[in-house]
Amino acid sequence: MRGGMGNMQKMMKQMQKMQKDMAKAQEELSEKTVEGTAGGGMVTVVVNGQKEILEVNIKEEVVDPDDIEMLQDLVLAATNDALKKMDDLTNDTMGQFTKGMNLPGMF
């Protein structure tokens, strides 16, 4: 019985350390930014780790008043690209803690 309690305490300490490490990783992620692009770099969108759009940059040569739909499509594509990159970064960073465990709703 005694060995069982020691193992339980050790496991609890490991879990507490993992929680602390995860919180630190999430904080670091919230400070990171990624850039999504579309149209060969004609439109760029910068997103932070909280999935907030920080910047939208459109090169002057892409602005065609007769084709506003193309510009809208490029902004949409660049935004989705940036959000996907942030999701990938989040999954890569936080995945080190789960190491294959299936924890629905965690991230």
Q: The domain spanning residue 63 has which CATH number?
A: 3.30.1310.10
- What are residue 74's phi and psi, to 5 degrees? -65, -40
Least confident of 26-35, 51-60, 61-70: 61-70
Is position 104 within any domain? no
Give the per-residue pLDDT at 30. Answer: 87
Q: What mean pLDDT is reported for the chain?
A: 86
Which pLDDT score, from 0 to 100, does residue 20 have? 92
How many residues comprise the chain? 107
Would you say residue 83 lies in a domain?
yes
| 50, part of any domain | yes
Nearest residue to 34 (alpha-carbon basis) of 72, 71, 88, 91: 88
Q: How many domains does the chain have?
A: 1
User: What's the mean pLDDT in 11-40?
Assistant: 90
Q: Are 62 and 74 in contact (CB under 8 A)?
A: yes
